[in-house]
Structure 1
Amino acid sequence: MTDLLKVSDLKLRYPSKKLRGFSPEILRGISLTIAPGETLGLVGESGSGKTTLGRAVLGLAKPTSGSIHFDGRDITHLSGRERRPLARDIQVVFQDPYTSLNPALQIADILSEPLIAQGVDPQEARRSVTDLLDRVGMPRNAAERYPREFSGGQRQRVAIARALALKPRLIVCDEPVSALDLTTQAKALELFIELQQQTGVSYLFITHDLSVVRHISHRVAVMYKGELVETGPTRDVTTHPTNNYTQNLLLAAPTADPDRQRDRREARRRLRESADSGLSAGVT
């Protein structure tokens, strides 16, 4: 099967006036693939570079070297005008469902806007709104209301509906459930899975939480300081991780069982001590 997305040896650093040149490398030779209908969970702590990678795929950050291919086409250095047609195929769902929705627009306008921008007749675009709301489990009367009238989980459903409006083949999901409470988070994840089964869309699912990627992803890629340190099937990476950093992420995942949480803290302490002793002995 041909890869839908292929990222090869991608490196990126931002221009820096303070440093009179460029920042240190944020992405340091990233290579990954996503197949049609697949979810790749990209996991790492804040500052690992995972959001920057998502921005590079979306054309919002310019790589310094390497390549990004979508459906066999090199999209690494496309101009804004050249990328505009790609909006039909590549969409995004951001972390904060409120700031990503224009508070001055009604939901119907928010959902029809991307369709109109792609040349769809405004009346036809408005007729599509009802179907989009149905698809994400929102009431039809939501169309005439404003984002502020909904809960965080409902606003995220609207954001997902907007991403689906153009029937994309890939959605970059940048921490899309981290701002939600656990119950709403679980419902949102089920919605992502259901929509993938219905449409065959692929996800690059960016998160800091291994428990989230365990639930939604087919494969997992773990980032640390701009590099991929471990990749593999979700079951393998989230059950028997081989990299110390991945093991720490797994142990850091919260649990409702206080005894298990205490055991995890102790395991993390031992892991850090082991890593520290290895470094002091000159082991890299």
Structure 2
Amino acid sequence: MSPKTAPILEVSDLVVEFAAKGRGRKPFRALDGVSLHVSPGETLGIVGESGSGKTTIGRAVLGLNPVASGSIVFDGKDIAGASPRERRALAADLQVVFQDPYSSLNPALTIEDILSEPLEAAGVERRTARARVAELLEQVHLPADSGQRLPREFSGGQRQRIAIARALTRSPKLIICDEPTSALDLTTQALVLDLLIEIQQRTDVAYLFISHQLGVVRRISHRVAVIHRGEIVESGPATQVTDRPQHPYTQKLLLSAPVADPAEQAKRREARRALAAATFGGEQD
């Protein structure tokens, strides 16, 4: 499905700062003037190394990190300073899938209880909520009896499918995907990515997809934004950014991606070292 033009999310000149330890020290600026947008039915991939600020963007959109300045407009409304009550009201349209699904699944509840809880809290009748859960489990390709089982009875990939199902319970307009495949093996990664693409094609949901893996971002994203030390250094169509990167940092990320051919991997390693010496003062992985 082709992305539409009107943004569901528009972030402008976003600055996020954290208090530094020690008296008189300046706050640490995690994000410095970040601007981006996501349209309905579109996936924007945010890629960068650990500590680059990519997860901070997602957490700021979710209201989990403080915003020093700038705006976060979601569905036409600036939510940068939204109150807890306003945030709860946003839950139907703005959801998240985290890296570790097990930590966010109550181990004492069955999957049916976990998935029906947000629906019943929103006033949905119990029987209707259970029918919706059965529908969601089918959509994420889990067995029909999954609702009666506990989280510990599932593999990592299956738990991530459950987390995706939970994010979909109230038909959101945007899902923040924060490293949703990084803890999975390559085969399971591919299955989860295919599932997310399938769901997007069917529902028109938008994704802000955060990852340190350029290959993963390339597979699922329409557009890609590369973040380095709190700033977007390159952005554009996914194929352009991942196949013909212009910024040295993006080039470094591309050269850092593993390949199956040992000879090619050795060439990439040498090219990465030469690039680091030339543009990052010898900075290495």
Q: Does 1:62 align with 2:66?
A: yes
Q: Does 1:273 align with 2:281?
A: no
**Any unmatched runs of 5+ in structure 1?**
280-284
For 2:179, the equivalent position in structure 1 comes to 175
Q: Does 1:209 align with 2:194?
A: no
Q: How does 1:198-237 map to 2 (within 5 A)?
A: 198-237=202-241
AA paired with 2:163? A
For 1:89, the equivalent position in structure 2 comes to 93
For 1:263, the equivalent position in structure 2 comes to 267
For 1:245, the equivalent position in structure 2 comes to 249
AA paired with 2:91? A
Q: How does 1:148-187 map to 2 (within 5 A)?
A: 148-187=152-191
TM-score (norm 1): 0.95
For 1:105, the equivalent position in structure 2 comes to 109
AA paired with 2:150? Y
C-alpha distance in 2 between matches for 1:127 and 1:16: 49
Report the CA distance shift for 1:15/1:165 in structure 2 as closer, same or farther (over 3 A).
same
Q: Does 1:6 align with 2:18?
A: no
Structure 2 SS opposite 1:62: coil
AA paired with 1:162? R
For 1:282, the equivalent position in structure 2 comes to none
AA paired with 2:266? R
**% identical equivalent positions:** 61
| Counterpart contact for 1:48–1:223, Cα < 8 Å | yes
User: Aligned pair count?
Assistant: 279
| Counterpart contact for 2:40–2:204, Cα < 8 Å | yes
Structure 2 SS opposite 1:104: coil
137-146 vs 8-17, which moves further: 8-17
For 2:127, the equivalent position in structure 1 comes to 123
How many Å apart are 1:123 and its aligned residue?
2.5
Structure 2 SS opposite 1:13: strand
AA paired with 1:140? A
Post-superposition Cα deviations, 1:16-54, rounded to whole Å, max 9, x if no partner, equal: 454567631001000000011000000001101111110
C-alpha distance in 2 between matches for 1:94 and 1:276: 31
Structure 1 SS opposite 2:81: coil
C-alpha distance in 2 between matches for 1:177 and 1:134: 21
| Counterpart contact for 1:220–1:233, Cα < 8 Å | yes
**Any unmatched runs of 5+ in structure 2?**
none
Post-superposition Cα deviations, 1:171-201, rounded to whole Å, max 9, x if no partner, equal: 0000000000000000000000000000000
How many Å apart are 1:69 and its aligned residue?
0.2
| Counterpart contact for 1:38–1:202, Cα < 8 Å | yes
How many Å apart are 1:278 and its aligned residue?
10
Cα RMSD, aligned residues only: 1.5
Report the CA distance shift for 1:263/1:130 in structure 2 as closer, same or farther (over 3 A).
same
Report the CA distance shift for 1:71/1:273 in structure 2 as closer, same or farther (over 3 A).
same
| Counterpart contact for 1:6–1:33, Cα < 8 Å | yes
121-130 vs 185-194, which moves further: 121-130
Report the CA distance shift for 1:277/1:90 in structure 2 as closer, same or farther (over 3 A).
closer
Report the CA distance shift for 1:116/1:179 in structure 2 as closer, same or farther (over 3 A).
same
| Counterpart contact for 1:95–1:175, Cα < 8 Å | yes
TM-score (norm 2): 0.95
C-alpha distance in 2 between matches for 1:20 and 1:117: 45
